[in-house]
Structure 1
Amino acid sequence: MNILIMAAGAVGGYFGSVLSKTNEVTFIARGEHLGKIQKNGLSVKSVTSGNFVSKSKAYESPPPGYKADLIIFCVKEYQNQKACEVISNSVTDDTTILTLQNGLGSGDILGKEFGREKILLGAAYIEASKGAPGLIVEHGGVCRITFGGQTEEQTEKVQRLEQIFKVSSIDFTISKNINDDLWQKLVFISALSGMTCITRSSFKEVMAHPSTRDITKALVNETASVASRLIPNFSTDTVANVIEYLETHKDDLVSSMHQDLLAGNPMEIDAINGAVSREGKNLGIPTPLNDMIASCLSLQDLRARS
């Protein structure tokens, strides 16, 4: 199985390295991170999988003639256009593309580019980071991929991916309603990312301050109200479960969007709080908290992109 990882950040680097134990994996990376992988392999320090080094090949773009059976697409939302260009020559009629991006919209973008029938939607639940160039650190806790097809015609692709993950000992769940799962994650991440970014604070600090803790809970409810209108039979216990998880794990939760903000990088605001805001407007549901967060953070995002 030829598996292309686009790209070897925290999520792609971890799951790609685990998959490389039983598959031919190729990483896409750049800069010093790419150089370290090419020289020494990709080192993984993992509570879940142990410490090991993946000796998979790595490139800035796939070599000429390379064709992928499976592409795991996990770049940041603002890198989509460039990433699609990078993988385009590696996609065949039989290629499956699993998107693990945060927020909403990646399935539509990839579907328009390569054909909806090739695209499986997924969500990665993992606490991981790029510890240094050439190093991925997985911190323990939940380490799972939830994925599913968009149509019944994709059943064979789903079953094939199921076997790949089983052989590689990757924890996974096959979703019967992947859009429900993606919105459940969005309810969580819109609160975590939105509040840490708008306050420029750790989530521990956000939850320790009564007023910002209350706003966080209100944000969870606001996003869930949009999901409930959009998704038939949206999980009714989502709000309680998300708030409980945020409170229980407040000391350890880190938002990648907050890390991007602090580093002066572009952010995935358009796919997270911005997506909730747009869907709310389309449905006639007020989303003042998501509107405010998306509008305010767009200033810093535009500055970073320029």
Structure 2
Amino acid sequence: MRILVVGAGATGGYFGAMLARAGQDVTFLVRPARAAALRRRGLRVVGRDEVWRLDPVLVTADELAAAPSPYDLVLLSVKATALEAAMEDLAPAVGPDTAIVPQLNGLAHLDALTARFGAERVLGGVSKVVTTLDDDGDILRLAPLAQLTLGERDGTVSPRVEAIRKVLADAGVDARVPADVLTAMWHKWVFITTIGALTALVRGTVGEVNAAPGGTELATALLDEAAAVAAAAGHPVPEAERRATLDVVTAAGSPMVPSLYRDLAAGRPTEVEHLFGDLTARARALGVPTPLMDLATLHLRVHQARVTARER
């Protein structure tokens, strides 16, 4: 199976590295600066008492455009803010039988990918991995979780999905094919917007928020709002999963923050419209009140406006 991993950051880089280490035919589509760094240093995974390195096969957008070549599988792991550019870059790699597995949070990217490449090529996907890029550009693994959920959006278990699942599983990934991948995507969306809104509004880690009076109540209320939108859309969060999410966002002393908070704190653009603007718009359409999520959306939009003004 020829695999193209779009992006070699904390998520795509980690899953791609696992596949490449297992002997799969993996190529990373990266920007020229990242390509130069990886050619010089290699793709390195560090943390949790492990350090391993590989020399990845790399291609830039210009190189791919100059020699179009269809791949069997595209793992798309970019921020929503880079989605439009990524679709343009990866287009020469998409053939009639290419399957695209996006690893973005939320749902809005499915419409964009379908419009560009056709519904038959776009699967649903959810990734769960606790990694980040350190100052050297290495992938820092912070926890053992390495899970990738995928499936046909109509709920069927197709031969191509099973083939992809097996390739991932053989590489050591906890690969899952749920009964309804869209439901799995909704549930991840509930989690990521809950923890994103919580840490962004209060500007602190999960532990810091919950150590302050009212912090735990805020976490619970945010989760209730997001879960209510999912339920109204036909994807209710089971009580066991709701409890597990609540345990994470109310954990005493937890240093956890999502990547959205790190982007916010660093003054970088965030995925506000993809994650929060879309969620609150769907809430309005479904008649679900989300005053706290609306507040988080406004807060992030003001930040986004400042970033945009600074970059002009």
Q: Aligned to 2:173, what secondary structure does the other structure show?
A: coil
The letter for the 2-side match of 1:135 is D
TM-score norm. by structure 2 comes to 0.91
Farther off after superposition, 52-61 or 162-171:
52-61
Question: Gaps spanning 5+ residues in structure 2: where?
Answer: none
Mapping for residues 100-139 of structure 1, pairs under 5 Å = 100-139=103-142
Distance 1:160 1:175, change over 3 A: same
Paired residue total: 305
Distance 1:189 1:202, change over 3 A: same
Aligned residue number for residue 242 of structure 2: 239
Contact 1:34–1:134 (8 Å) recurs in 2: no
The CA deviation at 1:266 is 1.0
The CA deviation at 1:133 is 4.1
Q: Aligned to 2:92, what secondary structure does the other structure show?
A: helix
Q: Tell whether 2:56 aligns with 1:53.
A: no
Q: Tell whether 2:176 aligns with 1:173.
A: yes
Contact 1:68–1:91 (8 Å) recurs in 2: yes
Measure, in 1, the Cα distance between the counterparts of 2:101 and 2:89: 16
Q: Aligned to 1:71, what secondary structure does the other structure show?
A: strand
Distance 1:191 1:121, change over 3 A: same
The letter for the 1-side match of 2:95 is T
Mapping for residues 209-220 of structure 1, pairs under 5 Å = 209-220=212-223
Deviations 1:114-155 (A, max 9, x none): 011111111111110011344111111422112211125661
Contact 1:266–1:302 (8 Å) recurs in 2: no
Measure, in 2, the Cα distance between the counterparts of 1:274 and 1:238: 24
Contact 2:106–2:275 (8 Å) recurs in 1: yes
The letter for the 1-side match of 2:94 is V
Measure, in 1, the Cα distance between the counterparts of 2:259 and 2:253: 15
Deviations 1:151-174 (A, max 9, x none): 256612211111211221111221
Farther off after superposition, 136-145 or 69-78:
136-145
Measure, in 2, the Cα distance between the counterparts of 1:234 and 1:113: 31
Q: Aligned to 1:272, what secondary structure does the other structure show?
A: helix
Distance 1:111 1:298, change over 3 A: same
Contact 2:210–2:252 (8 Å) recurs in 1: no
The CA deviation at 1:234 is 4.5
The CA deviation at 1:60 is 3.1
Aligned residue number for residue 86 of structure 1: 89
Q: Tell whether 2:24 aligns with 1:28.
A: no
Measure, in 1, the Cα distance between the counterparts of 2:156 and 2:172: 26
The CA deviation at 1:274 is 2.0
Aligned residue number for residue 43 of structure 1: 44
Q: Aligned-pair RMSD on alpha carbons?
A: 1.9
